[in-house]
Structures are given as C-alpha cells and as structure tokens.
Amino acid sequence: MCRALMYLGKNVPVYELLYKTDASLVKQAYDPKQMSGMQNLAGFGMAVWNEHFIHKEKPLLFHSTSLPFYDKNLEHIASQISGECIFAHVRGVPYSVAGRSEGLIISEQNLHPFYFEGQPLALAHNGAISHMEVLKPYLAREIETDYFTQIKGSTDTEWLYALFLSRLQSAQPNLAQMIQAVFETIEILRNIRAKNNIFSYSPINLFISDGKRLIATRYVIDYGHYSADGLTAHSGYHSLWYTLGERYSFIEDRYEMRGYPAKNSIIVSSEPLTLDPSSWIKVPEYSLLAVERDGDTLDLQIFDIQL
C-alpha cells in the first residue's frame, strides 16, 4: 500500500505540499490515516514541473530510498523549489526477511514515479498486480521494444508504465489519447489474466501526468476474489480523494484549498492532506479522473471504467 499526491494549478512551494499539512505526504509515510496498518518506508520519489525551469517541458526528478521524514536532501530541495505541477509518491511494501520477493526489493530502480527519458509522461501506482511473474512474458509481447529495454526494476508498476506508453497513439498525446491508453492498458491486463485463469484481487490506482494534465484511477480488477499470494492486507478499494479551488494556501492556522467553486488548482491524493476532510471529495470506485489546464482554469472530468 503506497501513498501518492498530485497537484496541478497555480505555482505552489513544494515544501508546503509535502510537509506543512497535518496529514502531509511525508507524515503519511509513517502514519497514514486511511488504509493504515502498513507503513510506507520503501522509498520516496517526486516529479516537479515549473515554467521557469531551464527545460520546462521536463520534470525535475528526485528519488531516494531514504525515509522521507529523515531525508535532509529532500527537505532542502523541497524548500527551494515550487511548481505548477507536483507529483510525489511514498512506496509501501510488505515486510520480507529475505527482501527478495518479486517487486518488493527496495532500490532506486523501483521508486515511483517512473519516467523514461524522452517521454512526456510520468506514472506511479498504488496497488499490486497479483501473479505478476506469470503475466510478464505475455505483457512483454504487448510492449514496444524501445520501452521494454528501459525497464530496469522489478516492480509491476514499471511494466504497467511501459505497457501504457506502448498504447499511446502520439509522441505528444492529448488528454483523450491518454485516457484511451489507460483503458487499453487495463483491458490488456484483464484479458491476459483471464487467459491464464488469474482472477485474484488486484487494485490499480494509477497516477499519470505530463505537467499540464493529470489522470488518476480508482479501480480493482476482480474485486472480491482473494488468494493466498500475499495481496490481501487491504482487500477493499484503495482510497483516492481530490480537492478543487482557487489556490492552496495557509489560512489562519492551517493549509487548505480555498476559493471553491473556482477551478484554478487541484490536489489529488491517496488520502486527504488535512485531518478535516470536509473540503475533500472521494473519487468514485471504478472511475478515472482526468484534469487539463485551460488557460488559468482547470477542466475536470470523471469517467467510468468498465468492470
């Protein structure tokens, strides 16, 4: 069980999103308020886009296997930069004495968000695909060679990322093409699982962004079918929330999104960043949330995902 955070909107300091709220992403690493019971101590990663970066079309990437609440490099970087789009992830994996189980190795190659050089999109995942060792040979046939050769780690997420990129119809995809690629990625995965008689619970909360658009899914393949493969610690739908407004800022004694119903900024997160969730909206089950910047405002749509 991982935790992820995406922000799109008016320029905001990274430190305020990662550290300053009472349920910030850094705090969620060791004390998640939802889906608690598994600490997210397997590494941290983030991608930040800023119009004033030298290469503004590319994100600033940071990955570290250090615990984020002890990582002084992360704290220093976060205090010095801001972004119009911020995409961060803390990785949680089940404890393993051997530490060598499929996808569970703690290494920089396994940290989210994943970003292949030359591609506009980064991707992270909250969930786990059951029996991935069986699926990989079949998934390899669906992945373009250029992306397959860039897979360096052992996570199911990096394979999903390569599969997703292989479904895109353009090197600079628009939002509709990104959404279609997500649908096709899920459909291919479902079909391969069915052909191999794999019907065990596999949550797929995907987070995707190119700095100007973002997509997040709240989805489970074969909900209710549980197996003894170690993926049943959280057998419900993985949580996903968003808050929308004019600007994320400090108000009186706390940070919150202000100015709703203005649609200038959005936070999408595995759980609310504040202990008071009254300004947050839960993303429906079996849904895809898509957001695109249109001038100074954001266009938000929610689509159903086929069961």
- How much is the CA Rg of the chain, to the nearest whole Å? 18
Please name the residues in contact with 297: beta carbons below 8 A apart, sequence gap of 6 or more. 262, 263, 264
Domain count, the chain: 1
Residue 215 to residue 288: CA distance in whole angstroms: 7
- pLDDT for position 31: 74
Domain that holds residue 113: 3-304
CATH number at residue 177: 3.60.20.10
- pLDDT for position 112: 93
Q: Per-residue pLDDT tens, the chain, 307 aa: give them.
A: 688 999 999 999 999 999 988 888 888 878 776 655 555 556 899 999 999 999 988 999 999 988 888 899 999 999 999 999 999 999 876 554 444 444 466 678 899 999 998 899 999 999 889 899 999 999 999 999 999 999 999 899 999 999 999 999 999 999 999 999 999 999 999 999 999 999 988 999 999 999 999 999 999 998 766 665 544 445 678 899 999 999 988 877 778 888 888 999 999 999 999 888 889 999 999 999 999 999 889 999 999 998 6
Q: How far apart are the first and last CA of the chain?
A: 22
Residue 167 to residue 181: CA distance in whole angstroms: 5
Residue 30 to residue 92: CA distance in whole angstroms: 10
- pLDDT for position 235: 60
Please indicate, yes or no, whether the overall pTM of this predicted structure exceeds 0.85.
yes
* Whether the Cβ atoms of residue 89 and residue 5 lie closer than 8 Å to each other: yes
Residue 165 to residue 182: CA distance in whole angstroms: 9
- pLDDT for position 128: 87
DSSP string over 215-282: EEEE-EETTT---SSS--SS-SPPP-EEEEESEEEEETTEEEEESTT--SEEEEESS-SSS--TT-EE
Residue 163 to residue 166: CA distance in whole angstroms: 5
Residue 219 to residue 191: CA distance in whole angstroms: 16
Q: Which helix (H) or strand (E) element contains residue 188?
A: helix 175-195
